[in-house]
Amino acid sequence: MIHELMQILPMAIVVIGAFILMLLSRSRVVDLNKLNLVAVFFLALSFLLELPQFGRTEAVYSFPEIFGKMYIIDDFSTLFDLMFSAGAIMTLLINTDYFKSRSYFNGEYFALILFSVFGMMTLAHSNELITTFIGLEIASLSIYALVGYHKRNKISSEAMMKYLVLGSMTGAFFVLGTALIYGSTGSTNFNDISAFIASHSQEDLTLVIVGGTFIMITIMFKIGAVPFHSWVVDIYHGAPYPVTMFMASTFKIAVFAIALRIYLIEFASISSLWTPMLQVLTIITLIGGSLMAISQSMVKRMLAGSSIVHSGYMLIAISSIGLGSEMAAPAIMFYLIAYFISAVGAFGILSFIAAHSKKQMTYEDFKGFSQRRPYMALMMAIFMLSLSGFPSTIGFLGKFYIFTAAIESGQILLAALGILTAFISVYYYFRLIAVMYFYPSDESQKKFQINLSSSLVALMALLVIWGGIGTTLIPFIPGVDGFIDIAKQAIGSLYIK
Amino acid sequence: MEQILSNIIFVPLLTALILGLSSASLRWIRLGAAASSLIVMALVIVAILNFDPSGGMQFVRIAPWIQNYGITYYVGVDALSLVILVLISLLMPILYAYIWKEERKGYWFNMMILQTGITGAVLALDMVLFYLFWETMLLPIFILIGRYGNGAFRYNAMRLLLMTILGSMTMLFSILYLGYTYFETTGSWSFAINDLSGLDFNPQTSIWLAAGFLLAFAIKIPLVGFHTWMAPAYGSSPTPAVVILSAIMAKLGVYGLWRFGYGLFETTLVYYAPTIVGLAIIGLIFYAIHAIMEPNLRRMFAYSSGSHLSLIALGIIVTNIYGWGGSIYFIATHALASAGIFLMIGLLYKRTKSVTIDDLGGIAAMAPRFAFFFVFFALSIAGLPGTGGFVAELLIIIGAFKANLWIGVLAATTMISAMLYIFWMLQRTVFGPAGSHTEAFADLDGREMGMLIPLVLLLLITGIAPSLFVPYLEPQIEGALAEVMRAIGGIQ
């Protein structure tokens, strides 16, 4: 009993923290700074309790007598939990300056962040379609509210409406898909469904396949795959910087968590059916995302567009799984880690700058940035290098594994297209490096403030470099192999029953 | 001894890191950079003294890096990479002497990172490690041109970056494919070049894979058709960057052609040989015509450099002892001469603020020492007998004649055309009446002479006594050539 409680404690702490924050948010005594610390405290507690749990040898269901097999706890979900709470902590701490500089922030912001983390954790742990939907909606609803947080701002409210309407509509697809699958298999549990699929021939599975396709549409919408991508750029643009950072780095990963579990477990035996559809989606996502990213003049919108391209790279690997590639699943895991670190850093710097100026942050605004803030510029350059997949960064290895997996599965042309879009991405990422470094600045150099925000961003920059070149030669510090082993172990845990 | 190459690669980078993190003052940065380059030079001298001309790869160091994918930190040096290594370690202190008065700190940091990048690319024997250094060396050049250049430098820096990365990306694809094929055939991962060279492909795949590599090298050299970045980038570069571009980075393209072209795709290279020979011959004539017409000195020598690099590529691809020997010799002597001439152009620009031929003239009367060095380097570019370039060009042309009479004849035109544009340029810049920008012209001072004299001496030694160097190079070239000949089934 105690043991089982300990296992779900990390999640329970997050949701308890969210309620406490809700209660505190109306208090006159507790100001935003303190609320922030309370939120970080709960998240950090959850993170620390979760950390020693990674590396278990078996997957367990929590409270099976109550929940049945709804709720699974394995290394896969633990790794995602860790990333979610780390992402939320980063979002809160790096943006300390930002929400102090904007008057519209108040207490609910923190509660919403924690609620959405709870939703994402549910998503990562869920072993059943209804739970998945609930987790997805808890996370999404919090995010909808966060996107429209700046109530008096037209762009922000418009973004929220767009996201809410489109998101709810695609949510309906998920429910419909669930209903179809339930109607055909009589269960919503992943294990039962996968057993049903394995024991029936393809003619009996029409409803399951249609239902699965509907579910996939929801997932494709959430990761911003073309043609379900029209919201991405506007919503990333309209949302306040901390929320954009949270969405791009953390929420996106959560969607991949459920996508991987569904694809690897539930539909494992028929996943190759979707491969042609996925391949087409991948091709248009890569091209469409590149076109969106290349035409933006605002850095935030460029990063939004490029996040579509990153989804495209991961889709390459997902369709490789269907074609029998063994490396593909760990490759996605590694890519998620790599993208998480780089995106947290890049958006962190953006919101750090936004906190200190009222600028729109177009490319123009970055002129001479390397002279005003040399260290910040260097870190931004490192994140851009990583996102563009330049060697000596973690982003390069992420692409390396994805493309190798694509070659393994025989998708040579898809790998070639991936490399071509990586080349295009060099243009828009290096454009930022170029404006930062190529133009002199009129203003004098600002002092590098060493505080929590900046040291966290610096930590991310170090991780990006270490994840790209880290060797195992130095004892006690895991090198690149460490990252890969973590990814492999998390994926491996999915298959332990 | 095992660590010597690692030290040669990483001392500059570590110096840059330490100086950067400690927010050192300009004085310390300058001293640190100079010290790092001298330490590397000393290490390279130690390496030369311990180098065994008849042994293959030496000072090899293999350490696991990313074990999951069998990627290793694998470095080693043989005759050809030693030549380039010596050039790098020789040029860096000279360049530091050239920029000694430079006050912008970024300049110094970029130079140190650049040294690590180019050295690593020459010494790496693992494909992923090579790719890492190959890309890394581009960054400092990109920043140097885009930040400290002249003319439309920002645009030209971006153009250089994008074109070179396009090549790198195709190469990356080929590397990944090779690595995966190795895994498929043997069951374990490796990206080491000597492992990958044993793979067998069907000819069609091999042609595609080789194309990935060849595109990267063709852009770097650049062969004609892949050259549109060259003249603008050379024209916009600050002097140290253009010296590295022409003396080292362009050579790395040829080095890659030799190391990876022959190392991985001996048989397929036969398929591409006519194309490369054709491009090289068109290139050396096309670039020479451009050089004759070009009014801007930097761009003129960019074309001249392209012309000579096409000749080197030709020498590599004709695959006989004269071609290979001459090419390797030319890599060294052309690096020395082009470093010299681009430094002279830099010094000229400092004095006149113009590198357009029409603005210049009559330098010899006002600054005899400057004129002497300028004329000397220009003539060694043209292949004046007595300088190293003459010996090398002659060898390559003999090699070309051995391959085919017409290839030889066309290759030989490079000597004539070089004489043409060099003499015409000298007549209009150094001699004749004073131009609009050369009315007052300061002669070279002690520091400037100090950095040029080593280059002059080396060019003379390589020209007068090539026999000093032949024993170092010959055994390995012959060995490598015999291996390639065995693979492609030809006779030497």
Q: In chain A, what residues touch B169 (CB-CB under 8 Å)?
A: 419-420, 422-423
Q: Of B66, B73, B176, which is closest to A403 when you measure between CB atoms?
A: B176
Q: What is the pLDDT of residue A315?
A: 93
> Does the beta-carbon distance from A434 to B65 stay under 8 Å?
no
Q: From CA B91, how far away is CA B81, in angstroms rounded?
A: 15
Closest to B436 measured CA to CA, from B373, B362, B347, B343: B362
Confidence of residue B489 (pLDDT cuts 50, 70, 90): low
- Alpha-carbon B260 to chain mean position: 16
Chain B nearest-CA residue for A382 = B139
Q: From CA B378, how far away is CA B244, in angstroms rounded?
A: 18
> Does the beta-carbon distance from A481 to B154 stay under 8 Å?
no
Q: Of A422, A423, A480, which is closest to B66 when you measure between CB atoms?
A: A480
The total number of structural domains in chain B stands at 1
Question: A322: which residues sit within 8 A by CB, 6+ positions away?
Answer: A263, A271, A272, A273, A274, A275, A278
Of the listed ranges A168-172, A257-261, A269-273, B127-131, the least confidently predicted one is A269-273
Q: In chain A, what residues touch B139 (CB-CB under 8 Å)?
A: 390
With a threshold of 0.90, does the pTM exceed it? Answer: yes
Q: What is the pLDDT of residue A448?
A: 73
Given CB atoms, is A363 within the 8 Å cutoff of chain B?
Answer: no
> Does the beta-carbon distance from B69 to A471 stay under 8 Å?
no
pLDDT digit string, tens, across residues A28-40: 778 888 889 999 9
If you ran DSSP here, which 8-state letter would residue A273 be given? G
Q: Is the pLDDT of residue B341 over 90?
A: yes
Domain that holds residue B288: 4-488
Q: Is the pLDDT of residue B491 over 60?
A: no
pLDDT digit string, tens, across residues A168-189: 998 999 999 999 999 999 889 9
Chain B contacts to A (CB-CB under 8 A): 63-69, 73, 128, 131-132, 135-136, 139, 142-143, 146-147, 153-154, 157-158, 161-162, 165-166, 169-170, 172-173, 176-177, 179-180
Q: Is the pLDDT of residue A306 over 70?
A: yes
Question: B166: which residues sit within 8 A by CB, 6+ positions away?
Answer: A423, B215, B219
Q: Is the pLDDT of residue B242 over 60?
A: yes
Average pLDDT of every residue of chain B: 91
Chain B nearest-CA residue for A393 = B132
The total number of structural domains in chain A stands at 1
Confidence of residue B28 (pLDDT cuts 50, 70, 90): very high
Closest approach of B187 to chain A, Cα-based (Å) = 13
Please compute Rg for chain A using Cα positions.
22
Please compute Rg for chain B using Cα positions.
22
Q: Of A391, A412, A419, which is closest to B135 when you measure between CB atoms?
A: A391
Structure tokens at B318: 């004709």
Chain A nearest-CA residue for B72 = A471
Q: What's the burial of B41, exposed, middle or buried (CB within 10 Å: 0-12/13-18/19+)?
A: middle
Q: Answer positive or negative: Cα dihedral of A438, A440, A443, A449.
A: positive
Q: From CA A79, how far away is CA A53, in angstroms rounded?
A: 9
Provide the pairing of β-strand A60-61 with A72-73. antiparallel
Strands (DSSP E) contained in B10-153 are 58-66, 71-77
B382-405: average pLDDT: 90
Q: In chain B, what residues touch A481 (CB-CB under 8 Å)?
A: 66-68
> Does the beta-carbon distance from A471 to B63 stay under 8 Å?
yes
Q: Of B132, B142, B170, which is closest to A391 when you measure between CB atoms?
A: B132
User: For chain A, first and last CA: distance in Å?
Assistant: 21
Chain A nearest-CA residue for B133 = A391
> Does the beta-carbon distance from B180 to A484 stay under 8 Å?
no
> Does the beta-carbon distance from A422 to B169 stay under 8 Å?
yes
Interface test mutation site (partner A, options B176, B178, B185, B190, max chain A beta carbons within 10 A): B176
Closest approach of B43 to chain A, Cα-based (Å) = 24
Q: From CA A435, how far away is CA A449, in angstroms rounded?
A: 23
Q: How far is CA A95 from CA A104, A239, B118, B139, in A?
A: 14, 14, 40, 31
Q: In chain A, what residues touch B66 (CB-CB under 8 Å)?
A: 397, 479-481, 484
Of the listed ranges B208-212, B314-318, B430-434, the least confidently predicted one is B430-434
Q: Judge whether A435 and A363 are in contact, CB under 8 Å.
A: yes
Confidence of residue B418 (pLDDT cuts 50, 70, 90): very high
Q: In chain B, what residues touch A437 (CB-CB under 8 Å)?
A: 143, 146-147
Identify whether B222 is preceded by a cis peptide bond (ω within 30 of 0).
yes
B103-119: average pLDDT: 92
Domain that holds residue A157: 2-494
Q: What is the pLDDT of residue B302?
A: 94
Q: Judge whether B161 and A430 are in contact, CB under 8 Å.
A: yes
Closest to B328 measured CA to CA, from B387, B407, B255: B255
Q: Is the pLDDT of residue B221 over 60?
A: yes
| A-B contacts (CB, under 8 Å) | 85
Closest approach of B263 to chain A, Cα-based (Å) = 22
Q: Of B65, B128, B154, which is closest to A471 when you measure between CB atoms?
A: B65
pLDDT digit string, tens, across residues A451-495: 888 889 999 999 999 888 876 666 666 778 888 888 888 888 888
pLDDT digit string, tens, across residues A318-360: 999 888 888 899 999 999 999 999 999 999 998 888 888 777 7
Q: Is the pLDDT of residue B492 over 50?
A: no
A121-134: average pLDDT: 92
